[in-house]
Structure 1
């Protein structure tokens, strides 16, 4: 699990070209909802080393978040082979995250 937000995200074309299971987390370090989701994400991602986790700092004018139509933080986008499989906005429990992760990486 990544612990800090990237301010230099990949392009949408680069994301679409990635193979395998990918979780993109859009948010901001100062966002209370994002901070509350961190322990949930850490628990859900534990034991899932095959899932790539990109933590992207989002905001006005940030093209990657806009390309995924992100409106609230955190927004979690679950992709497999460059295709969106699931999405969670402001997740409130580990089980919801784990179920979405299982859709992109069935153990």
Structure 2
């Protein structure tokens, strides 16, 4: 059982891109309603999947990452494997939809 940690833009390369495993990245903002809706779901996924590192990135404080990954809306989930984006999911989603999304890794 793991917990969701917040990653700052400065630490993204070390914490996510250099991580030798699977990572679910939740780009969110504190003011974003749909982001608040999926936050408990993202927490559930982190507790269910010991093989999946789950992190959150505050989009307001990570504009360079938003540009780098072409993120135009939040919430956006990136599914990464060995530092490379495998898939992207934009918008609020149910637990079953996010489970299916993360089942790719």
TM-score tier by shorter-chain length is: 0.7 to 0.9
Kept in 2: contact 1:11–1:64 (CA 8 A): no
Kept in 1: contact 2:78–2:89 (CA 8 A): yes
Counterpart for residue 9 of structure 1? 9
Structure 1 unpaired stretches of 5+: none
Root mean square deviation of aligned Cα: 2.2
Distance 1:10 1:100, change over 3 A: farther
Structure 2 unpaired stretches of 5+: none
TM superposition score normalised by structure 1: 0.79
CA distance in 2, matches of 1:9, 1:60: 7
Counterpart for residue 22 of structure 1? 23
Whichever structure has more helix as a proportion of its residues is 2
TM superposition score normalised by structure 2: 0.81
CA distance in 2, matches of 1:18, 1:54: 12
| Matched residue count | 102
